[in-house]
Amino acid sequence: MSPSLQVQGLRKSFGDVRAVDDVSFELAPGELLAMIGPNGAGKSTTFNLIHGQLDPDAGSVLFEGQSLLGCSPRQIWQRGIGRTFQIAETFASFTVIENVQMALLSVDGRVFSPWRRATRYRRADALELLAQVGLQPQAERAAHELAYGDVKRLELAIALASQPRLLLMDEPTAGMATAERHELMALTQSLVQQRQLAVLFTEHSMDVVFEHADRVLVLARGRPIALGTPAQVRADEQVQAVYLGQGRLTHTTPTGAPMPMSSRQRAASPSPALTRAAGSGAAMSARTPDARLEPLLAVQGLTAGYGAARVLFDVHLQVNRGEVVALMGRNGAGKSTLLKALMGLVPERSGQATFLDHDLMRLAPHEAAQAGLGYVPEDRRIFTDLTVQDNLCVGQLPARQFPDGARAPHWTLERVFELFPRLAELLHRPGGRMSGGEQQMLTVARSLMGNPLVLLLDEPSEGVAPVIVEQMAEMIVALKAAGVSLLLSEQNLAFASWVADRAVVLEKGQVRYTGPMQTLASDDALRRQFLSV
């Protein structure tokens, strides 16, 4: 069978940065090929070269034997290549079926007509596409009302409207819970088999890659370093060294339960570099915090929202010194809103929230940061025109002490670069010319430069390589041992189970569970009740 896609000798540079360097591979009909690699490896650039957003410096891209070079994205789409994006591209104010009808109108080249209602256009075909992705019962709902996993399904239905023979999916499961990830990829597999569709996808969730991909292509520094079956790639020592790490925090079962960890793994200590970064006197075991300690952060009766829309209702929680609390829940439960409310970024809020002796309800965001409350937003919010060094220096604040006079961890550029060596290599690169994962590292590093006593992290493991996820886990354990408190919102249950002492589960803006993290992680009934979809 002739390949659907042939990529040969693809190259692309941005100034002195060679983003893609001699990438070659083939993709057959009915095959799922996963493209993985460290942040900044060139995955998104390769996608954009194939789909016409960028022109290559050298190389060729053939689809069913015909060159795609010089074609616009629309022309490529018209040839039979669909695409989904890491951040779902849908019309939020339209209904679900109207989103698909818009795609069908575009497919057929129909333009505005005052004599026909677009809501009647090919309605039966739109409903059939929604049925294929399991969304037909929600056809009349507004897209903005959908759960995040269903938005991803809707985007897939839109991509399928053109009857593509090749589908490009850029991190299709980003931001989704474990069960949602496997459901979406199982659906994609079934479509591949039914239609003999060829699929190329990028992904950082290794449980998805190893369970659903037929073959895996690994890029590093813009060059292919491995191509083979999931088993072959998993066993490749070079891939383990530059990307997979030890695999401690990335493997979960399809139901969301973390894979069993040995006692030796759970007792693993952070690296010496992280020990230095957290403070030379810090004990490096993941100790359980003393429940008798007064909390550094306490929340009582917090209600918050946007205008007339309330998102949080009567939330109570506390975070003790040297404790990590994992904020868990389904997408849309209010986790990010809670973190933003604590930082003063939500316009409507009431109740009580105290940090040390500060009333957070009265502090502006910059005042909360100056008081020692750090925040890592999910959407990164870096200064794209500033260099890495400038971004880090902008966030730098003086060293701090805990209320009892003990010295808190002091972060400097040198210690941040020990944690994230990649940032040292990119020291003078503007933030806007970094990959999404590199920007995530920069966001975490910039928050650390503020020397926080309590750190709020929104999805810290999202969009970064498994080896970096492990480094972040080691950082959290080191900070915890040095007395820093952390409240993190996290979908990666294996990651949360590794670092967190307690879990707080939100459902529809209300606290439904507060207790030991390991109890939630090990109790199948609790996980299904609060975290499954």
Per-domain residue ranges of the chain: 5-244, 268-288+295-530
Give the number of other CB atoms < 10 A from CB of residue 48. 20
For residues 401 and 152, give the distance between their C-alpha atoms in angstroms, rounded to a whole number: 45
Q: What pLDDT is attached to residue 246?
A: 66
Q: Which helix (H) or strand (E) holds 468?
A: helix 466-481
Q: Which two tokens stand for residue 399?
A: 């060293």
Q: Which of 316, 317, 325, 256 is nearest to 491 (CA)?
A: 256
CA distance 368 to 350: 17
pTM over 0.75: no
Report yes or no: 503 and 307 within 8 Å, Cβ to Cβ.
Answer: no
Answer yes or no: are the C-beta atoms of 441 and 400 closer than 8 Å.
no
CATH fold label, 5-244: Rossmann fold (3.40.50)
> What parts of the chain have a pLDDT lower than 70?
86-87, 111-116, 175, 246-294, 463, 532-533
Query: Do the first three CATH levels of 5-244 and 268-288+295-530 match, i.e. the same topology?
Result: yes
Whether the Cβ atoms of residue 490 and residue 497 lie closer than 8 Å to each other: no
Tally of CB atoms within 10 A around 79:
16
8 A C-beta contact, residue 323 and residue 501: yes
**Any idea which fold 268-288+295-530 has?**
Rossmann fold (3.40.50)
Q: What is the predicted pLDDT for the residue at 259?
A: 47
Tokens coding 149: 């996993």
Write a three-state SS string for 53-121: CCCCCEEEEEECCEECCCCCHHHHHHCCEEEECCCCCCCCCCEHHHHHHHHHHHHCCCCCCCCCCHHHC
| Start-end of H helices in 123-177 | 123-132, 148-160
Q: Which one, of 199, 216, 203, 213, lies nearest residue 29 by Cα?
A: 199
